């Protein structure tokens, strides 16, 4: 996720990579663990037992990649979204309603500028969008990419996630350099998402060791506008202020959140 303007080209993980430990739970996962450790500049551990001696680590096991720390493990997972992807449910999703493009648009492109764990991008992909997911924190990006990889092996999700492309990088920079305007830019500066379960909330605290939920809102909105999309969709708390003071064309509200929709002047092609 984008942060303050003066930090945009700096390393993006709050934890020093040398303090991260990447391990394989079994020999068959060692090659993947080694590749990730080299990519992150992290240490490669000999076994999962070593995770007890570090504040934060990444472990490859039979279920995929997980972030581990304080005796907890957090894994990005898209499979629990399946009930929401059924047509009758999908059409009621506020995000899907907010992102809808007027007119006939073949395979519309959505940029998820703050991808996180990709649940919202999955909704957009299920609604027919091609979705490019930007995540600037390399550890979160790795967890997200692993979730998409595992989802691609699920017959119920394979066709949907085939429309999702994970990009590790700064969306605020990328949005200003796109080769062609996207149809929708989606911004969700609320991260991590609120969770009802106290246990899940505690797990998500692991992410705060990687990336804090503060960012330059003006920079983020400015980059979204510079991309010249047909529409910018912003996820906000129900009673929260407009992002960067940008008044939407209209809003779609639920019980706890709303989606502010800024319709841009670019004509349909």
For residue 44, which of 52, 135, 53, 35 has the smallest C-alpha distance?
35
Provide CB contacts within 8 A for 2, sequence distance 6+.
Answer: 8, 113, 114, 136, 170, 171, 172, 215, 216, 219, 220, 223
- Residue 2 has, within 13 A of its CA and on its CB side, a CA count of 24
- Binding annotation for S-adenosyl-L-methionine: 135-136, 188
**Structure token pair of residue 248:** 């939407």
CA distance 211 to 139: 10
**Structure token pair of residue 263:** 């319709």
CA distance 34 to 124: 33
- Binding annotation: 135-136, 188
Inter-axis angle of helices 30-40 and 138-152, nearest 10: 150
């Amino acid at each position: 996720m984008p942060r303050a303007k003066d930090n945009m080209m700096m390393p993006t993980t709050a934890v020093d990579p040398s303090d991260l430990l990447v391990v394989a739970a079994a020999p068959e996962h060692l090659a993947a663990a080694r590749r990730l450790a080299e990519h992150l500049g992290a240490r490669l551990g000999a076994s999962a037992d070593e995770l007890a001696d570090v504040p934060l680590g990444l472990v490859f096991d039979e279920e995929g990649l997980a972030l581990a720390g304080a005796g907890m493990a957090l894994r990005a997972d898209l499979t629990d979204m399946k009930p929401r992807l059924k047509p009758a449910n999908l059409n009621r999703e506020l995000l899907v309603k907010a992102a809808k493009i007027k007119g006939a648009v073949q395979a519309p492109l959505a940029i998820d500028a703050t991808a996180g764990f990709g649940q919202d991008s999955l909704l957009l992909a299920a609604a027919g969008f091609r979705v490019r997911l930007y995540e600037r924190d390399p550890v979160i990006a790795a967890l997200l990419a692993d979730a998409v990889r595992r989802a691609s092996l699920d017959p119920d999700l394979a066709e949907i996630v085939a429309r999702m492309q994970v990009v590790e990088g700064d969306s605020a920079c990328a949005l200003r350099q796109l080769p062609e305007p996207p149809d929708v830019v989606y911004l969700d500066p609320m991260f991590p998402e609120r969770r009802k379960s106290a246990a899940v909330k505690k797990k998500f605290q692991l992410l705060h060791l990687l990336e804090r939920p503060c960012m330059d809102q003006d920079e983020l909105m400015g980059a979204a506008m510079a991309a010249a999309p047909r529409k910018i969709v912003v996820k906000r708390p129900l009673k929260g202020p407009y992002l960067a003071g940008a008044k939407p064309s209209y809003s779609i509200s639920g019980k706890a959140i709303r989606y502010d929709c800024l319709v841009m002047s670019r004509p349909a092609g």
